[in-house]
Amino acid sequence: MRRGVSAAAAAAMLVSFVVVLVIGTSSPAMADCPPDPVDETGLCLSDTVPGNPGDTDPGDPGDAGDGPSGPACPGAPNGICVNDYGFIWNSAHNCYAFPLDPQPEANSPLWGGHDPAEGTIWSCDPTVSVPENVWFVPNGAAVIDPGQVAQQLVERAPFELANAHIAPPPTYHTYISYSNWMWIPEGQWHDVSVSLTVAGATVTLTATPDYTSWDMGNGATVSCVGPGREWVKGMPEDAPTNCSYAYDEMKDPEGDKWTVSARINYSVGWTCTGNCGGQTSGDLGDVTALAGDSTSITVYQRQTVVR
């Protein structure tokens, strides 16, 4: 006797497709972010640490790595590993697969001679009308690639969109060769995480911020370790900071006004528990989130008066 997947069972599988978002305050949005390439998720994929020969030394963030690139599951529609119903892409059968629920009777030919106690029957055909569209998966065998699922989770991670601040603020101005402080809110500097539980495996992606990439508006980029130190009124002129930049030339004799933005670069890794096929952790390299609110700065040249 052959049993198919009922509508109720399919709905149950949809409910079992659990996505857990660990607390975050914002998520990526589509935007341009040169000079890094942008994939279809709207995330900037970084493979180099930006820098500028003329900046103050913010420290060496280290090698950024290659970062994720290409589709999470090659061959799958849009590269998606797990579809909206919780079905998993199976490249061998070129379809989204799922375990039959309920499983066939022990005497069903769908088992193909396998012992039901030693595994489960999977399919990509909810009607189970074609016997070739079902197959046996031994207990403990991997039915997902957790590394591919983790790469898909990158687009769901609640990355912070850094809000840029600079001193002197937009309400004032600065001068050529003057060191300007930059920072993002300290509350935006934290790990972010997202998890997916499917087919007995829980894949958790964790992204740890490692440096802030600044676009100074004039074509220069600066990398700073950490969020930077906030400038507070009353600080002495020689107060220390690890994140600053001095404009060294003017393009407009009447003064330049530059738009300044910041992006957080994350080191991304994943772990897997449960039915992971022996793959328990991995590294996806670096991902640079999109910029949040920008700021601006006006730059003048100090005038020397000769008497």
pLDDT tens per residue across all 307 residues of the chain: 333 333 333 333 333 333 332 222 233 322 333 343 333 333 443 332 233 323 333 333 333 333 454 566 777 888 788 888 888 887 777 888 888 889 999 999 889 899 999 888 888 888 887 777 888 888 867 677 888 889 889 988 999 999 999 999 999 999 999 999 999 999 999 999 999 987 778 999 999 999 999 999 999 999 999 999 999 988 887 889 999 999 999 889 889 999 999 999 999 999 999 878 778 999 999 999 999 999 999 999 876 545 5
Cβ neighbours around 58 below 10 Å, total: 23
Query: Do β-strands 18-21 and 221-224 pair in parallel, antiparallel, or remain unpaired?
Result: unpaired
* Pair 43, 27: CB distance under 8 Å: no
Domain contains 154: yes
Specify the length of the chain in residues.
Answer: 307
Domain that holds residue 261: 18-70+145-300
Identify the helix (H) or strand (E) that includes residue 9.
helix 7-16
Output the pLDDT for position 80: 82
Say what the pTM is.
0.67
* Pair 68, 78: CB distance under 8 Å: no
Residues 6+ apart with CB under 8 A from 216: 52, 222, 245, 247, 258, 260
Residues paired with 288 in a beta bridge: 44, 265
Q: Would you state the structure tokens that stand for residue 140, as one six-digit string?
A: 């403990």
Domain contains 37: yes
Count structural domains, the chain.
Answer: 1
Domain contains 11: no
Is the link from the previous residue into 168 a cis peptide, with omega within 30 of 0? yes
Domain contains 56: yes
What number of CA atoms fall less than 13 Å from residue 172's CA on the CB side?
7
Domain contains 230: yes
Domain contains 210: yes
Backbone angles phi, psi at 283, to 5 degrees: -125, 130
* Pair 100, 120: CB distance under 8 Å: yes
Single-letter amino acid, residue 144: I
Output the pLDDT for position 79: 78
Output the pLDDT for position 287: 95
Report how far apart the first and last C-alpha atoms of the chain are (Å, whole number): 105
Backbone angles phi, psi at 194, to 5 degrees: -150, 145
Residues 6+ apart with CB under 8 A from 236: none
Signed CA dihedral, 171, 172, 177, 181: sign only: negative
Domain contains 7: no
Output the pLDDT for position 84: 81
Output the pLDDT for position 83: 84
Among 116, 119, 118, 120, CA closest to 107? 116
Domain contains 201: yes
